[in-house]
Amino acid sequence: MNFKKILSFSLPILGAIPAVSVAALSTDDYVEAAWMTTRFFGAQRSGQGPNWVLDGTSYTTSFTKDSYNGKDVSGGWFDCGDHVMYGQSQGFASYILALSFAEFRDGFYDLYTGDYTDYKANKDYTRKGGKSNDVRDLLEELRYEADFWVKAAIDKNNFVTVKGDGNADHQKWVTAGAMTRLGSGEGGEPRSIKGNAEDAFTPGMASAMLAVMARVDPDSANQKKYLEAAKTAYAYAKSHKSVTNSSGFYESSWWDGRWKDGPFLAALELYRTTKDSSYKKEADEWYFDLDFATGSYTRLNYSNAVPLSVVMAEGVFAWAPSSGSFYDAEQFLNNIYAKNAKDGIFKGETGGAGKFSVRSPAGGAFLYALMSKFYNESKYDESIEKNVAYLLGDNSNKKSYVVGFTKNGASAPTHPHHRGYYGNEDAGRDVNSMGSAPEKNKLLGGLIAGNFDSGSHDGSTANWQVNEVCVDMNAPLVGALGYILSKKAPVKEVGSDIKVKVEEEKKDTIEAIPQVARVAGLKLFQSGSTVTISDVNGAAFVVQVYDLNGKMVQVFKDARKELSFTLKAKGVFQVRVTSRNMHRIFTVKSL
């Protein structure tokens, strides 16, 4: 920590993102994009389905016999364009989507039925072929994944993290239904199932997702089963550590020790859902042990959920990072995204093939949207919209990164690295002989990994470094689109919605406080080694005391109106005060 640099700040850096112009896409274009990117998750369904890209093939179901110790664990989402099911990215994606639904619900529409019979009956897989059924589409996609996590959370000692073998799965380029009928050595049934991995991250993320679903699903039976499974998954996470290592496909080392975000977010969401203070206490213990240092220089992705944890901790508990030179979520995000923006686009850690460049603008847009919702602010709205629009083709090359999205004259990718897209069931065909996809599958809605260094699309299906599509990449984009539409064209209610009381919503969101008022009423008084902090507004606040080496030596949480404490040693200290409506740093000296 650079102590001298920190002392120069007394307020968050505001307006760090340069002014940008509003994108040229219409509101209906955003509706189209949200519809496509949400329905993409229906193309990732394993198990009984239905999976809409398999309509019209010989095998419309897949891997229905997945089991662990005799327990049915079929279902859930394929992680990318393959048919292995990696819980590491699944858990991350499912929590982000559930959280998006909870926070931006009015931005998610009801345009189709969750079993896709409307498209099949109309023989039209465009948006026009869909039919509303009084359930928001994202909720239906989330239920499919949540029902899998209920199965995966077998008990506190058994939790399924991976289904299938990546090496066997990648042998043949066929649909999930066709691969199921192949031998185990070529990715078929029976598949290997990992149900007792040394992993706290995956069950933690799954628990967080299920806890949110227990809060937002209007069906009382679903609420009950999701909450029970959330508690079971969290119990497993608490008795384990690290993250599953998956034979070169998802190495545990990629997390660089950042696995505690899973159980932290689980405890946080269980607290929000149950209001049981024991979960808040446990969230406290997890949060202040997160790796804020490495997490503050890497964009949001499945192996770095720290930026998301920071936003959620501030939004729910008014907690600030306990290490590093960041005293609120806004500054934390600005260090990753705004500081590395180019012409307003979040391009840190982006570039050519293999960089999975789309994660930067998609993840940044989602995080700023989430923070904006908590603060009830709109200053980042244009930037959020511009980054989303960039991915949808509002850029100098008119290059859309979403398969099938061609609105506003954009050129969309046509050769995604996705087996189901091509509808091929001939195991003898090579990946690069796929040709064109069935017409109905061309609106896949998957966000490709991308290449920001090229003005045109790569036409090689085998080039996964550019053309891979994954649930973890789509999820933040869906969330950001939901936020945009919740502001531009909100749908306040559909038939199945829960009516949430305004008073209850306020408990879980940051109050709208004008920027100039964030430190009003806050005072610090020192007498010898005793420090007293008061806030005339009566808001709860957190106090963190750091020495000159940047080490946190004392912390006091949930103080209200006034707090007095004694410095434990002599010397100069930094006293950082954070609440829902203020951020302030004081320098004190104890003699």
Q: CA angle, 318 as apex, 315 and 321 as ends, to 5°? A: 100
pLDDT truncated to tens, each residue of the chain (591 aa)?
Answer: 222 222 222 233 334 444 444 448 999 999 999 999 999 999 999 999 999 999 999 999 999 999 999 999 999 999 999 999 999 999 999 999 999 999 999 999 999 999 999 999 999 999 999 999 999 999 999 999 999 999 999 999 999 999 999 999 999 999 999 999 999 999 999 999 999 999 999 999 999 999 999 999 999 999 999 999 999 999 999 999 999 998 789 999 999 999 999 999 999 999 999 999 999 999 999 998 999 989 998 999 999 999 999 999 999 988 878 766 676 899 899 999 999 999 999 999 999 999 999 999 999 999 999 999 998 889 999 999 999 999 999 999 999 999 999 999 999 999 999 999 999 999 999 998 898 999 999 999 999 999 999 999 999 999 999 999 999 999 999 999 999 999 999 999 999 987 543 334 444 443 332 222 234 467 777 888 888 888 766 777 888 888 877 678 898 887 878 889 999 888 888 888 877 656 677 777 877
DSSP, res 23: P
Catalytic residue among 417, 418, 457, 583: 417
Helices then strands, counting H and E runs in the chain, come out as 20, 16
Is residue 417 part of the annotated active site? The answer reads yes
Which residues, at least 6 apart from 510, have a Cβ–Cβ distance to it below 8 Å?
314, 315, 318, 374, 375, 376, 580, 581
pTM across the whole model: 0.87
Q: Single out the residue of 87, 85, 249, 219 nearest to residue 153, CA to CA.
A: 87
Question: What DSSP string runs through 107-137?
Answer: G----S-TT-HHHHHHT--SGGG----SS-H
Tell me the domains of the chain and their CATH numbers. 3-507 (1.50.10.10), 517-590 (2.60.40.3080)
Residue written as tokens 């040709």? Answer: 435
The catalytically annotated residue of 82, 147, 261, 394 is 82
29 is catalytic: no
Core vs surface per residue 424-433: b (16+ CB within 10 A) or e:
bbeeeeebee
